[in-house]
Chains A and B, each alone.
Chain A
């Protein structure tokens, strides 16, 4: 079963707008990670937030984590056409950081 569930499944916005994707999970986690996948390519790590953190920033990315609600959100500000990709959240529940459980992903399309 999928630990993470993402919402929305698809999102289409205009360049310059902000994009927000949400992720919910079911069990306690060590950390939650966001990955990006361009069409036909492998996944690329974007950002990691630990279970004792509430918010983290990296460039145009902002991630929040609410462990009481078992949810996270990824905000991409001032989006660009090059941000068009699928975005996945992944939760790490193992004792050694080796077992990621992925959500089904959000397909983001940024229109020029």
Chain B
């Protein structure tokens, strides 16, 4: 299994541009999440999904959109990039639930985004 894959690995945007960060998993996980990691801030949850067709907001959702049309894919869209969105973005997936190790999240390698 490839696990959780993310593309691109690195992206430079100008303020106001839009783009989509791709995330895919081949583990048949129901739950998928997007986090951003800023220096000294740990990871913060942007959006998450508990299954195809179901998404919800996390701690810092403003400026981002998500959709979940398939179990495998969970793209994150930046609508109009701002310098404050410069960060490292991680996608994660899990089976979901509260038992049997289903809570363990598997992370992708991350996408480094620089907004000028």
> Is chain B a partner of chain A in the same complex?
yes
Residues on A close to B: CB < 8 A? 2, 4, 30-31, 33, 35, 41-45, 48, 88, 90, 92, 96-105
Q: Which residues of B contact A98 (CB under 8 A)?
A: 31, 33, 48, 50, 94, 96
Task: Judge if B43 is at the interface, Cβ distance under 8 Å.
Answer: yes
Task: Judge if B103 is at the interface, Cβ distance under 8 Å.
Answer: yes
In the complex, A48→B107 CA distance in Å? 16
In the complex, which residues 65-116 of chain B have their Cβ closer than 8 Å to any Cβ of chain A? 90, 92, 94, 96-98, 101-110
Best-surrounded residue of A41, A97, A105 (most CB of chain B within 10 A): A97
Which 9 A-B pairs rank lowest in CB-CB distance, beginning with the nearest? Answer: A42-B107, A97-B103, A102-B43, A102-B42, A104-B42, A43-B107, A98-B31, A97-B98, A45-B104
What is the number of residues of chain B that contact chain A, defined by CB distance less than 8 Å? 30
User: Smallest distance from the beta carbon of B109 to chain A beta carbons, Å?
Assistant: 5
Q: How many residue pairs bridge A and B at CB < 8 Å?
A: 73
Q: Which residues of B contact A42 (CB under 8 A)?
A: 4, 90, 107-110
Given A31-B98, A43-B90, is A100 in contact with B105 using a C-beta cutoff of 8 Å? yes
Q: Which residues of A contact B31 (CB under 8 A)?
A: 96-98
Contact A102–B110 (Cβ < 8 Å): no
In the complex, A92→B102 CA distance in Å? 12
In the complex, A99→B40 CA distance in Å? 20
Further 15 A-B residue pairs, CB within 8 A, beyond A31-B98, A96-B50: A33-B105, A42-B107, A43-B105, A43-B107, A45-B106, A96-B31, A96-B96, A97-B31, A98-B50, A100-B105, A101-B45, A102-B35, A103-B42, A104-B41, A104-B42
Q: Which residues of B contact A103 (CB under 8 A)?
A: 42
Q: Which residues of B contact A33 (CB under 8 A)?
A: 103-105
User: Smallest distance from the beta carbon of B62 to chain A beta carbons, Å?
Assistant: 16
Given A33-B104, A43-B90, A96-B98, is A2 in contact with B42 using a C-beta cutoff of 8 Å? yes
